[in-house]
């Protein structure tokens, strides 16, 4: 599909907006449908889209396997880190109330970082799954 | 919701149909991919089982406000979000295993895999 | 450090859970090994701390996110939970150092860090199932541990490991989905997911159909995971073809934690009246347990692969545990909990030692194979024709297997004897002497399959030119620690019997 002009142009136009939309879904998750899961999948979809149009190798150049693996691990660490922060600040595990000056702000801060962690992990996992399956047939015998 | 058998229980009937159909596919089909499809259908029926009772007709999102008195239960949705993630992970892992099995055995038909295993076991002298 | 001890329930799960992503980030087998092992040992320390705390305070309740139950997720540790936590984290703490030497020959080096990450996740999942007081949370942790288990099994070198893992994935997912359907019905009927709250609210709707359906779904689903006799089909292949360390860890923990879930739901949620007085469940469980004790042990006798033999023996031994549950008495339940622990460490010891045997076979490719299997990348299976005269080659390993085998049979002085003794006492207390006879008869079958190993290893002549080639110390020391454990808990029963009895008392008191 690399030579299809329409796809290339449309893809180049759309991908930034897909990523932007992912961020919108991420940060609007407080007020409407959305959140880390959905946003993570959308931003992964942008990369998958890129890979479909420009080829897996090019996609792997901008999102190397190492980075993807680091993402899926660090997201979990961020999530768990919020929990541990609650512990260190004197609350129970995953206690949001103690994260800021009052409970409401603490809730905001806690859920923000948790969703960031979810986003990173979901995006990493989606890409990892895509890479694994997409690269399978190429270096195999089929 | 109006009283009466079918309309009232429609969602449950769909749930049970999907549940049984999915389980049937898992058991009756020998193709590893088809089995995974059945497994997904089976899991999806559980999502319905949880979500349908959580919705009240006319209920709103559970944000306290003087205008509203009827709220839908949000908890089933949250639970099922987790279950969906689990389902996706299971499906991905199952497909990955199917790919590896295809590479190792050259087939994804269960009876052929069993036959290949039995052939090896006959050579090794392992009774199963 | 008083604040630390207050957070032990959370740390119990979080520390091994955190070790897994760190292992992935480090991308190096050695570092990953270090951090996951540290996580497992920390978890073991937490489990010891919790065991001491439950001894003093009875039941510990920890509110995740400071949301009080039944709204928030509660971590709830009673005597039974702390006992199972000790078993799981202790086994992990012993198996992980063993893995270092063992997977060297079984798993490609570049995948080692992922092995440790999966191990950490599996451990965190199993600990989470045990400690959580929230029914849906049980499902989530169940899937965390199951998914990582499927991966661990598929890491086996034999291609049959893939098929075994796939089969386990299908069966395990059906089981977990059944379980979650059951939870769904309970939630519909009561509007709560907290296990204690569920137990209280179910009293009012006990006789309704959805509750009975929930009981059926949960029992069947968990029985699939714990490999109760007719639902055990996934187990033998999964145990046989998984890497040795994985087999040992799973045999000691995965099925045991599932038994724990069944005990938890039967006694803490549904309650004894429903289970034991209104339904014929104990009779069904009794029959299935007897079938497991006899049929699975009988099948075990005719296996040629040593790992497979002991896998079937595991199915049989699970029968003793469920048999204890079916008595509806404190002693029966206590015996079940006791056997859960004793059989866990015994089986872990055996599979760890067999790992040494497999390694020896792989190294010693000079062992002639009478039937001429082409030597491929797959290490030779520990079949009996390859084990002739093994005691000459690996005296310590063989002696360890024999000692642990005696514990499987239930010879006095071993852990297996203690739990069978209490099982027999419980049967006599129930006045069912034919069950006593059944326990003794099925032990004869255990003698038969353990004897098969003894005969081949000690009395068959070793092939020409056999030299002493013991398994490396990195494998022997962890395995022998567990063997010594089986002897220790056979002689000094104050810890095991005491905790099991207290746990059973606590459960029965809460269930009534």
What is the domain extent for residue B43?
A: 5-95
Is residue B110 predicted with pLDDT exceeding 90? no
Which CATH number goes with the domain that contains B11?
1.10.287
- The shares of helix, strand and coil residues in chain A, as percent rounded to the nearest 5, are 80, 0, 20
pLDDT of residue C512: 58
Q: What is the ipTM of this complex?
A: 0.89
Q: Looking at the 3D structure of chain B, how many domains does it have? A: 1
Is residue B63 predicted with pLDDT exceeding 80? no
Question: Closest chain A residue to B97 measured between Cα atoms?
Answer: A133
User: Which residue in the set A37, A132, A136 is minimally distant from B81, CB to CB?
Assistant: A37
Question: Closest chain B residue to C169 measured between Cα atoms?
Answer: B94
Range with the lowest mean pLDDT among C175-184, C233-242, C277-286?
C277-286
Rounded Cα–Cα distance for residues C7 and C42 (Å):
13
- Chain A neighbours, 3+ Cβ pairs < 8 A: B, C
The whole-angstrom distance between A133's CA and the closest CA on chain C is: 16
Helices within B29-67 (DSSP H only): 32-54
pLDDT of residue B126: 47
User: Which residue in the set A37, A129, A136 is minimally distant from B92, CB to CB?
Assistant: A129
Give residue-wise pLDDT tens across range A4-39.
Answer: 888 889 888 999 999 999 999 998 877 777 788 889
Q: Tokens in use for C357?
A: 């045997």
In chain A, where the domains are located: 5-139
Question: What is the average pLDDT across B107-115?
Answer: 87
pLDDT of residue A139: 53
Is residue B15 one of the residues assigned to a domain? yes
Is residue C365 predicted with pLDDT exceeding 70? no
Question: Is A140 an 8 Å CB contact of chain B?
Answer: yes
Rounded Cα–Cα distance for residues C415 and C246 (Å):
23
Q: What percent of chain C has pLDDT over 90?
A: 51
Rounded Cα–Cα distance for residues A45 and A50 (Å):
8
pTM: predicted TM-score of the whole model, two decimal places: 0.92
Contacts of B82 in chain C (CB under 8 A): 136, 140
Is residue B26 one of the residues assigned to a domain? yes
Inspect the interface and report whether the beta carbons of B100 and C154 lie closer than 8 Å: yes
- The shares of helix, strand and coil residues in chain C, as percent rounded to the nearest 5, are 80, 5, 20
Question: Is B89 an 8 Å CB contact of chain C?
Answer: yes
pLDDT of residue A104: 83
Is residue C40 predicted with pLDDT exceeding 90? yes
User: Which residue in the set A37, A132, A140 is minimally distant from B96, CB to CB?
Assistant: A132
Inspect the interface and report whether the beta carbons of C10 and A93 lie closer than 8 Å: yes
Phi, psi of C74 (to 5 degrees): -110, 135
Q: What percent of chain B has pLDDT over 90?
A: 37
Question: Is C21 an 8 Å CB contact of chain A?
Answer: yes
Question: Is A74 an 8 Å CB contact of chain C?
Answer: yes
Phi, psi of A33 (to 5 degrees): -60, 135
Give residue-wise pLDDT tens across range C132-145.
Answer: 989 999 999 999 99
More confident position, B121 or C309: C309
Give residue-wise pLDDT tens across range C469-484.
Answer: 788 888 889 999 999 9
Chain centroid to Cα C91, Å, comes to 9
């Amino acid at each position: 599909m690399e030579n299809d002009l329409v796809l290339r142009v449309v893809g180049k136009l759309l991908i930034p907006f897909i990523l932007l939309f992912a961020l919108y879904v991420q940060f609007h998750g407080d007020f409407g449908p959305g959140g880390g899961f959905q946003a993570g999948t959308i931003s992964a979809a942008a990369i998958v889209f890129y890979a479909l149009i420009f080829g897996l190798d090019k996609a792997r150049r901008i999102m190397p396997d190492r980075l993807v693996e680091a993402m899926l691990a660090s997201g979990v660490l961020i999530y768990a880190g919020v929990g541990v922060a609650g512990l260190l600040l004197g609350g129970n595990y995953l206690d949001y109330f103690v994260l800021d000056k009052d409970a409401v702000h603490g809730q905001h801060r806690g859920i923000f970082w948790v969703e960031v962690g979810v986003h990173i992990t979901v995006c990493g996992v989606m890409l990892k799954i895509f890479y694994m399956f997409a690269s399978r047939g190429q270096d195999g015998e089929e | 919701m109006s009283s009466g058998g079918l309309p009232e229980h429609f969602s449950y009937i769909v749930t049970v149909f999907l549940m049984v159909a999915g389980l049937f596919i898992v058991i009756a089909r020998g193709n590893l991919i088809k089995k995974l499809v059945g497994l997904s259908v089976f899991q999806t029926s559980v999502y319905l089982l949880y979500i349908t009772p959580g919705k009240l007709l006319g209920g709103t999102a559970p944000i306290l406000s003087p205008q509203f008195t009827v709220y839908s239960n949000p908890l089933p949705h949250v639970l099922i979000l987790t279950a969906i993630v689990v389902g996706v992970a299971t499906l991905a892992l199952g497909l990955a295993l199917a790919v590896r099995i295809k590479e190792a055995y050259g087939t994804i038909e269960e009876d052929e895999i069993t036959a290949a295993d039995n052939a090896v076991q006959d050579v090794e002298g392992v009774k199963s | 450090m008083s604040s630390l001890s207050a957070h032990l329930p959370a740390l119990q799960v979080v520390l091994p859970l955190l070790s897994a992503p760190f292992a992935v980030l480090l991308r190096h087998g050695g570092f990953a090994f270090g951090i996951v092992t540290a996580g497992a040992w920390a978890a073991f320390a937490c489990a010891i701390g919790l065991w001491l705390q439950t001894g003093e305070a009875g039941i510990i309740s920890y509110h995740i996110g400071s949301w009080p139950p039944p709204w928030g997720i509660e971590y709830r540790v009673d005597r039974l939970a702390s006992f199972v936590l000790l078993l799981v984290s202790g086994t992990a703490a012993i198996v992980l150092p063993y893995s270092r030497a063992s997977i060297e020959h079984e798993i490609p080096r570049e995948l080692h860090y992922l092995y440790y990450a999966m191990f950490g996740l599996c451990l965190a999942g199993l600990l989470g199932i045990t400690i959580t007081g929230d029914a849906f949370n049980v499902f989530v942790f169940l899937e965390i541990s199951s998914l990582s288990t499927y991966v661990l099994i598929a890491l086996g070198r034999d291609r049959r490991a893939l098929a075994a893992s796939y089969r386990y994935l299908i069966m395990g997912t059906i089981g977990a989905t059944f379980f979650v359907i059951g939870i769904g019905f309970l939630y519909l009927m009561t509007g709560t997911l907290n296990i204690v709250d569920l137990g209280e609210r179910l009293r009012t709707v006990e006789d309704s159909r959805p509750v009975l359906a929930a009981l059926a779904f949960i029992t069947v689903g968990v029985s699939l995971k714990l490999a109760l006799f007719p639902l055990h089909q996934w187990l033998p292949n999964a145990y046989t073809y998984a890497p040795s360390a994985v087999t040992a860890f799973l045999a000691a923990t995965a099925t045991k934690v599932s038994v724990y879930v069944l005990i938890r739901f039967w006694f803490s949620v549904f309650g004894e009246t429903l289970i034991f007085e209104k339904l014929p469940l104990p009779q069904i469980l009794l029959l299935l347990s007897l079938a497991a004790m006899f049929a699975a042990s009988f099948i075990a006798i005719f296996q040629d692969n040593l790992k497979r033999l002991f896998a079937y023996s595991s199915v049989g031994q699970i029968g003793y545990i469920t048999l204890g549950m079916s008595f509806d008495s404190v002693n029966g339940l206590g015996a079940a909990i006791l056997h859960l622990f004793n059989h866990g460490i015994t089986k872990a010891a055996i599979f760890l030692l067999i790992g040494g045997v497999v390694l020896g076979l792989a190294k010693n490719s000079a062992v002639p194979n009478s039937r001429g299997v082409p030597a491929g990348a797959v290490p030779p299976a520990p079949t009996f024709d390859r084990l002739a005269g093994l005691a000459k080659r690996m005296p310590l390993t063989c002696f360890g297997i024999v000692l642990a085998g005696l514990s499987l049979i239930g010879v006095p002085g071993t852990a297996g004897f203690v739990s069978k003794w209490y099982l027999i006492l419980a049967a006599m207390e129930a006045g069912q002497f034919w069950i006593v006879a059944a326990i003794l008869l099925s032990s004869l079958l255990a003698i038969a399959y353990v004897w098969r190993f003894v005969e081949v290893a000690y009395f068959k002549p070793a092939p020409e030119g056999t030299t002493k080639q013991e398994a490396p110390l990195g494998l022997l020391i962890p395995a022998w620690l567990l063997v010594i454990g089986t002897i220790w808990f056979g002689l000094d029963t104050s810890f095991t019997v005491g905790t099991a009895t207290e746990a059973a008392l606590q459960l029965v008191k809460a269930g009534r």
